[in-house]
Amino acid sequence: MNKEQLISALSRLIGEEHVLPDEPMSGHTSFRIGGPADFFLEPKQKAQLAGLLRLLEEERIPYFIMGNGSNLLVADEGYRGAVIRIGKNMGHAEVRGDQITAECGALLSGISALASANSLTGFEFAGGIPGTLGGACVMNAGAYGGEMKQVLREVTVLDEKREIRVLKNEELELAYRSSIFMRTPLIALEAKIQLAHGDREAIEGLCADLRERRQSKQPLDLPSAGSTFKRPEGYFAGKLIMDAGLRGYRVGGAMVSEKHCGFIVNAGGATARDVRELISAVQARVFELYGVALETEIRMLGAEP
Ligand SMILES: Cc1cc2nc3c(=O)[nH]c(=O)nc-3n(C[C@H](O)[C@H](O)[C@H](O)COP(=O)(O)OP(=O)(O)OC[C@H]3O[C@@H](n4cnc5c(N)ncnc54)[C@H](O)[C@@H]3O)c2cc1C
């Protein structure tokens, strides 16, 4: 199939308006960085995914699954393949007793609001994390002492044989910013979140308090992908970077945030290359001074130049 024929075939599967050829990824990532993906696809329902994957595999088109793009650095050259976004089209969430069942395109902020409105406690930590439920399962996202591992009961996935399976919490291999999704090509479709009945006022108070802490500590006014580095055992990445004298250090448009040194921000016109070079410079300096190897938390997409 040539590109035109493939676009037609994809459009027949998920609708023309959900197939964007040569789509700049800078418009779909919180970093506001990234060249074009050959195809940007936003299926409307879970049921369309298996057919979509079959077609891409037949045509030998590599694919990448994304959520809200809040933990992604996409290469300036973009991605030679199809980016499939599990986003708001697959974002239904509902409450049953003390559980929330949600599709993986649902935003954590929405799930947190739903939990508060139903006096369910346990999800307050996640309300300010700007990702989808799927991205949070993959990353075992966490903040302020909470993490997905504490609340995920099970996740329904599409596996590499395009079969639907339900993985229980213990099978998800959840650890600090890590999960089975990083080792196995699984697509998270839906998850059950186990919460507890609580006091609505106290839940809303805690959410507001955490929001306030985020606002005051994090550079939310500039594009970023959150904490650039994982927390090294026994240290805080931001403190090491600050102590190394790198606050405000720049490569091109990429800068170590002046507000929180654990964040690399796009201070204006940053390229992925700028961010990569800045990451390497920070890693080298911190290692030289403190012997600590900083590992990136953000996920990279697209070939290294
Ligand atoms: C301002 C800011 C603050 C942040 N604060 C925090 C924080 O406090 N704690 C924290 O943990 N993170 C934080 N982050 C990072 C980010 O929001 C989380 O990692 C989030 O879980 C990513 O979700 P996403 O939907 O944006 O995933 P994406 O960035 O789109 O993708 C992340 C990874 O998940 C995979 N993925 C996404 N959806 C699926 C799916 N349905 N199935 C299979 N794979 C999938 C992608 O392939 C990729 O590998 C912050 C980011 C920003 C910009």
Whether residue 304 is predicted with pLDDT greater than 80 in this model: the reply is no
Q: Identify the CA nearest to 38 among candidates 12, 70, 10, 58.
A: 10
How far does the centroid of ligand 1 lie from the alpha carbon of residue 135, in Å?
A: 4
How far does the centroid of ligand 1 lie from the alpha carbon of residue 127, in Å?
A: 13
Mean pLDDT of the chain: 96
Query: Are the C-beta atoms of residues 136 and 181 closer than 8 Å to each other?
Result: no
What does the pLDDT read at residue 102?
Answer: 98
pLDDT in tens, 6-38: 999 999 999 999 999 999 999 999 999 999 999
Percentage, residues of the chain above pLDDT 70: 99
pLDDT band per the 50, 70, 90 thresholds, residue 303: confident
Whether residue 305 is predicted with pLDDT greater than 60 in this model: the reply is no
pLDDT in tens, 213-242: 999 999 999 999 999 999 999 999 999 999
> Residue with the nearest Cα to atom 50 of ligand 1?
226
Q: Which atom in ligand 1 lies closest to the alpha carbon of residue 157?
A: 42
Verdict on whether the full-model pTM lies above 0.85: yes
Instruction: Tell me the domains of the chain and their CATH numbers.
Output: 3-85 (3.30.43.10), 89-203 (3.30.465.10), 219-301 (3.90.78.10)
Active-site residue list: 177, 227, 297
pLDDT in tens, 66-75: 999 999 999 9
pLDDT in tens, 177-211: 999 999 999 999 999 999 999 999 999 999 999 99
How far does the centroid of ligand 1 lie from the alpha carbon of residue 1, in Å?
A: 34
How far does the centroid of ligand 1 lie from the alpha carbon of residue 132, in Å?
A: 7
pLDDT in tens, 30-67: 999 999 999 999 999 988 999 999 999 999 999 999 99
Q: Identify the CA nearest to 32 among candidates 267, 295, 302.
A: 267
> Residue with the nearest Cα to atom 8 of ligand 1?
143
Question: Is residue 42 packed enough to be buried (19+ CB in 10 Å), middle (13-18) or exposed (0-12)?
Answer: buried
> Residue with the nearest Cα to atom 37 of ligand 1?
135
Q: Which residues line ligand 1 (CB under 6 A)?
A: 30, 64-72, 86, 104, 129-132, 134-136, 138-139, 141-143, 181, 187-188, 218, 220, 224-226, 299
What does the pLDDT read at residue 257?
Answer: 98
Check the CA dihedral 239-245-251-257 and report its sign.
positive
